[in-house]
A and B are shown apart, each in its own frame.
Chain A
Amino acid sequence: SAVISQKPSRDICQRGTSLTIQCQVDSQVTMMFWYRQQPGQSLTLIATANQGSEATYESGFVIDKFPISRPNLTFSTLTVSNMSPEDSSIYLCSVVDYEQYFGPGTRLTVT
């Protein structure tokens, strides 16, 4: 099994600013995933991040808004840029190793 940690666990940010969320895994994984869970909603995949290549974004998500880094096999960051209140969500990092493991999430509130 994989153990995933995320930083920060929560933050309150002002409109127009950016926040970078860090995801650390205790083992090397090829693919890491970033999800968004808006209040009262299910999980929506933002992008898939492979080490050494550009992230692959799902429909409705763009790199300028959600730039992702994947410098090595155990770490990734997601930046939420130029935030608006609509970006208030829980952001989850995830990896797959036969089953899917999730980080504890980052609860973001944009005021």
Chain B
Amino acid sequence: AQSVTQPDIHITVSEGASLELRCNYSYGATPYLFWYVQSPGQGLQLLLKYFSGDTLVQGIKGFEAEFKRSQSSFNLRKPSVHWSDAAEYFCAVGTGNQFYFGTGTSLTVIP
């Protein structure tokens, strides 16, 4: 069965520091991969997606993610975090019309 694991429930980083959020998936083939952000009281916003091709994907707000097939991972990175990045981040796997979400990583940014 397909599954998505985000091993870090909560991460705290200082503003300006780099960030990496981990995501591992379980799926028999190469899935579609997504990262979403949910700010407090807001809906879900797509940060970036991977369908095929270049394994390093650029997204909005300065985020990028790298698909590593050998590790079944799709980690999200940002070189310098801003206070406005504090939010909940969800990794998702899409297989056809089914989407599976990780449990989310809550990001706190300290000044």
Contact = CB atoms under 8 A, between A and B. Distances in A.
> Is A bound to B?
yes
A82 to B, nearest CB: 27
Given A31-B97, A42-B103, A42-B104, A102 B43 contact: yes
Interface stretch (A12-20, A68-76, A92-100): A92-100
A105 B101 contact: no
Contacts, number: 39
A62 interface: no
B104 to A, nearest CB: 5
B49 A99 contact: yes
Contact of B46 (A45, A99, A105): A99
A41 interface: yes
B99 interface: yes
B76 interface: no
10 contacts: A42-B101, A43-B90, A92-B44, A96-B94, A99-B49, A100-B34, A100-B92, A100-B94, A100-B99, A105-B43
